[in-house]
Chain A
Amino acid sequence: MTASMEVRVAGMGLFMPDFPTAADWHAQRRSAEPQLPSGSRLDRRARGRSSVLTKALAEAYFEAADAASVELGEGSAVFGSALGEVGTMLGLLNQMWRDREEPSPMAFALSVHNAASGVVSIATKNRGFTTSLGADHDTPAMALMEAIGLIAERGEPVVVVCGEEPTPTALVPDDESWELAAMAIALAPTRGDNETDCVRLRGPFKASATLVGSDLRAAVARNPQVGLLDLICAVEAGRSGTIALDRGRGGGWCMEVLCPDG
């Protein structure tokens, strides 16, 4: 039922070292130097102990939520990542098994897959629904499916935010590695059957894509979350059609983009 349901794009967010916001990406305004996410909207304590991934996801989340005027204390959110806080987890394992030290309870708490959703929901005093998932290269598709299900059930906006920290070198060969990136898209219920003044989405479903993903550097294109960036680029470009959410490396999930003039 939810697969054919239409939702409205209410806002977008992004963090990449070269493009710290979706606005920068849209304008192709590259940073003079690669940036690390500041986590500026997190409180000082959370900012100090959060990973690069958590801060990047938070940056993308806040940009999309602000653009959509989502009430931060109440909105729903779906966080997606294939490997999640794997760097923190490997650090803990090294601490236990190589350095023979007691594991840090704080590092343990922030090594779990839902660390970012927990940090963000605490920072925003959010009492809405929040969840985290990981589905390899299908993470964007599964996060969008979860969000659209939530919109169908609750009739409220949902922020989908997916990201990946730079590949741990021990885990992925160099020719498969990727750079830090986090992307977010705020979805909301459509306002009526004839709504034509905004970009709408339908899916996810398995199909052949009619839109081609953006021309990206290999280290960005290999990121398991790149499908969400391709979707954002299609929305920004006002291109109607079907866009792949996995660049051919997942289960073949796509999203239909319906633009006012596309």
Chain B
Amino acid sequence: MAEVYPSIRELIPHDGPMVLLDELVHWEPGRARCRITITPGMHFVSDGAVDTIVSLEYMGQAVAASCGYAAFRGGNDIRVGMIIGCRRMDIEVPTLRVGDQLLIEVREVRAQEEISVYECDVRRGDEPVASAQLTLYHADKPPGEGDSFP
């Protein structure tokens, strides 16, 4: 039976309209797959399209979902993460359209308490959209402070 995952809003520290992903669809240690359908009114959509560079944020949120579900399973609080580096980003298509359904897959290359590195791919059906290696900085979410800096 397919695993039922919590709502994406329970897994990532983002809030309000900055929650761009729809759901976590697969997770195993060090690996996750998320889905997003681009809809009108979504952040970064303009004239029915979104620049594919925004997939960098989709990748970052998919890493957050992967870490968030690992924390959920362990009974721990979710943490915040910031993209501090992006290597070898390849963009295969210049823009994405409203209605496009994307799968974002992230695979842990290495991870420590403070820093992690993930290989990330975004696909539209069988079509590669973008890929990159992200480096992220992680920290505990301040208690009761949302996502704002101290």
Question: Which residues in A have some Cβ–Cβ distance to B below 8 Å?
Answer: 83, 86, 89-90, 93, 96-98, 100-103, 136, 170-171, 173
Contacts and interface: CB of A to CB of B under 8 A. Distances in A.
Given A90-B84, A170-B114, 10 more contacts: A83-B85, A86-B84, A86-B85, A93-B139, A96-B150, A97-B137, A98-B139, A100-B142, A136-B88, A173-B110
A53 B21 CA distance: 39
A58 to B, nearest CB: 24
B50 to A, nearest CB: 26
Query: Is chain A's interface secondary structure helix, strand, loop, or mixed overall?
Result: loop
20 contacts: A86-B84, A86-B85, A90-B84, A90-B137, A93-B82, A93-B139, A97-B80, A97-B137, A97-B139, A98-B139, A100-B150, A101-B150, A102-B150, A103-B149, A136-B87, A170-B112, A170-B114, A171-B85, A171-B115, A171-B135
Interface in B82-106: 82, 84-85, 87-88
Contacts of A102: 150
B31 to A, nearest CB: 20
Given A136-B88, A171-B115, A96 B149 contact: yes
Contacts of B80: 97
A235 to B, nearest CB: 29
Contacts of A103: 149
Contacts of A98: 139
A174 B121 CA distance: 27
Nearest to B109: A173
A170 B84 CA distance: 12
Interface in B106-121: 110, 112, 114-115
Contacts of A136: 87-88
B150 A170 contact: no
Given A170-B115, A171-B115, A93 B137 contact: yes
Interface string B131-150: 00001010110100000011
A200 to B, nearest CB: 32
Nearest to B115: A170
B149 A93 contact: no
Contacts of B142: 100
Contacts of B137: 90, 93, 97
Contacts of B139: 93, 97-98
Contacts of B140: 97
Contacts of A171: 85, 115, 135
A76 to B, nearest CB: 28
A131 to B, nearest CB: 20
A93 B114 CA distance: 10
B77 to A, nearest CB: 14
Contacts of B115: 170-171
Nearest to A83: B85
A89 B150 contact: no
A48 B41 CA distance: 49
A199 to B, nearest CB: 33
